[in-house]
Amino acid sequence: MEADDSGHVEFAVRHGQTKDASELERLSHLNFDPQEEQLIKDVAAIAYAAGSDTTVSALLSFFLALIVYPDVQIKAQAEIDRIIGKDRLPTFEDRNDLPYIDCIVWECLRWNPVTPLGLARKVTEDDEYQGYQIPKNTTILPNVWALLHEESMYPDPMKFNPDRFEDLGPADLIDGSLGCVLGVG
């Protein structure tokens, strides 16, 4: 969609034809010059494109895992049935009561990372890694896949095993090697 084609959104916001667009409504009252407005549209489009691609990749990994490891699906369904029941869908308020579901999410991100080589980074100061000198301003590509398949941290790393995360809290996950799925340095 070209930036100029978004006029229908602006029209809908200005005329109250949106259901829940409080942020859009707030922005509609600000006066941006055309260059600022284009920048906002471009950033929103990039954020959408980046998020939609990674979401699809993670979901495909999830479906593959449930097909290859049906025992995981059975255990997850049992937890949902026990906590949620069959009369409603889970909500974000239920998250703390569904720890196995969280473990599945973390294991999906570890087992088949969306960005196996991560994003390029620039070293900000001279460094050394296992005897190799890395000069300041060197561009590196973190090997996220290798970090998340390190057998000393993740025994039997090729197996999809959400149970490996059951005794860890969010801080443990983010501070450990699994934090690299959220971004490296």
Q: What is the mean pLDDT of the chain?
A: 82
Burial of 147 (0-12, 13-18, 19+ CB in 10 A): buried
pLDDT given at position 55:
84
pLDDT tens digits, one per residue of 146-155: 989 999 989 9
pLDDT given at position 181:
56
The candidate with the shortest Cα–Cα distance to 159, out of 95, 112, 98, 116, is 112
pLDDT given at position 158:
96
Domains along the chain?
31-182 (1.10.630.10)
Better-scored residue on pLDDT, 168 or 76: 76
pLDDT tens digits, one per residue of 47-99: 777 777 788 888 999 999 999 999 999 999 999 999 999 999 999 999 999 99
pLDDT tens digits, one per residue of 124-146: 999 998 899 999 999 988 888 99
What is the pLDDT averaged over residues 174-182?
59
pLDDT given at position 1:
37
pLDDT given at position 173:
61
At residue 58's C-alpha, the angle toward residues 55 and 63, to 5°, is 120
The tokens describing 128, both together, are 């050394």
H-state helical runs in the chain: 7-14, 22-28, 34-68, 70-83, 99-111, 144-148, 170-175
What is the pLDDT averaged over residues 162-168?
88
Is pLDDT of 5 > 50?
A: no
How does residue 170 score in pLDDT terms, banded at 50, 70 and 90? low
